[in-house]
Amino acid sequence: MLYRPHRRRIDNEGSSSYDASPMSLDDLCESLRNCQQCRLASGRTQVVFGSGNPDASIMFVGEAPGFHEDKQGVPFVGAAGKLLTELLESVGLSRSQIYIANVIKCRPPQNRDPAPDEVETCKPFLFQQIQLIKPHMVCSMGNFATQTLLERKVGITKVHGQPFQLSEFRLFPLFHPAAALHNDNLLPLLREDFQKLKRLLDAMVAPPQKPAVPASDQPVQMDLF
């Protein structure tokens, strides 16, 4: 049950509703097409807004576009993207069921780390995407996405695979697939975390259990002797 039927809109104060109001996800994407709000605009081929199901219940958030993403305008299409697709399939998910975006929408030169002011400038667009999509679960991939969404300094090595209940959604931090490609020790941990994710998602859609009958209400065993 990863789809919801209605498209959402968001008003200028950030509240969302199902009614017609000023901004939809497509509007937000269009409004960023020529964004010049930070220095990364000068080196990009195009803004990489996000892709997938706009009504998804689960969203994946990475750091920033790389070379292939910048060329194609789609997040996670290089080697890390291939690994992400494989990991998703290993737990019965397809890319068409989820939504993928990055904290930063334009490629930093030579894939350098995003600078703090670039993150500050671009992250409100990620928050707007989340408000519009309203996922139940957001999987942050790597340190940048995790720290941005948790709004505090944490190390992914410590918090990966642990769900955090935030006010609007549950956050599930994962190692970044690109890190797992460069460090053989991380790949088994990432695979394990995907299995944990599957169990969490299964629990979210499982029908509620019948409440246990209190001991005092249970039928009394007849004393036959």
d(CA 139, CA 166): 12
Stretch that binds ligand SF4, among 22-30, 116-124, 148-156, 178-186 (CB under 6 A): 116-124
Residue pointed to by tokens 């703090």: 116
Q: With the CA atoms of 174, 144, 134 and 46 taken in that order, what torsion angle do they form, in degrees rounded to the nearest 10?
A: -120
- Helix or strand run (H / E) with residue 17: strand 16-17
DSSP state of 207: P
In this complex, which beta carbon is closest to ligand SF4, that of residue 23 or of residue 38? 38
DSSP one-letter string for 55-75: TBSEEEEES---HHHHHHT-S
Does 28 engage in binding with ligand SF4 (CB under 6 A)?
no
With contacts defined by CB under 6 A, how many residues of the chain interact with ligand SF4?
13
Stretch that binds ligand SF4, among 29-37, 70-78, 151-159, 167-175 (CB under 6 A): 29-37
Stretch that binds ligand SF4, among 35-43, 52-60, 79-87, 165-173 (CB under 6 A): 35-43
Please report how close the Cβ of residue 49 comes to ligand SF4 at its closest, in angstroms.
Answer: 8
Least Cα distance to 78 among 188, 176, 149, 144 occurs for 176
Q: Which two tokens stand for residue 167?
A: 């006010």
Binding mask 118-147 for ligand SF4 (x = CB under 6 A): x--xx-------------------------
User: Burial code of 69-97, b = ≥16 C-beta within 10 A, e = fewer?
Assistant: bbebebbbbbebbebbbebbeeeebebeb
Does 37 engage in binding with ligand SF4 (CB under 6 A)?
yes
Please report how close the Cβ of residue 64 comes to ligand SF4 at its closest, in angstroms.
Answer: 8
Does 106 engage in binding with ligand SF4 (CB under 6 A)?
yes
Does 107 engage in binding with ligand SF4 (CB under 6 A)?
no
d(CA 90, CA 156): 22
Supply φ then ψ for residue 51, to 5 degrees: -155, 160
Stretch that binds ligand SF4, among 16-24, 54-62, 104-112, 214-222 (CB under 6 A): 104-112
d(CA 105, CA 48): 5
Does 40 engage in binding with ligand SF4 (CB under 6 A)?
yes
Does 38 engage in binding with ligand SF4 (CB under 6 A)?
yes
Does 87 engage in binding with ligand SF4 (CB under 6 A)?
no
Site for ligand SF4 in 149-188 (CB under 6 A): none
d(CA 124, CA 180): 28
Which residues contribute to the site for ligand SF4 (CB under 6 A)? Answer: 32, 35, 37-38, 40-41, 47, 104-106, 118, 121-122
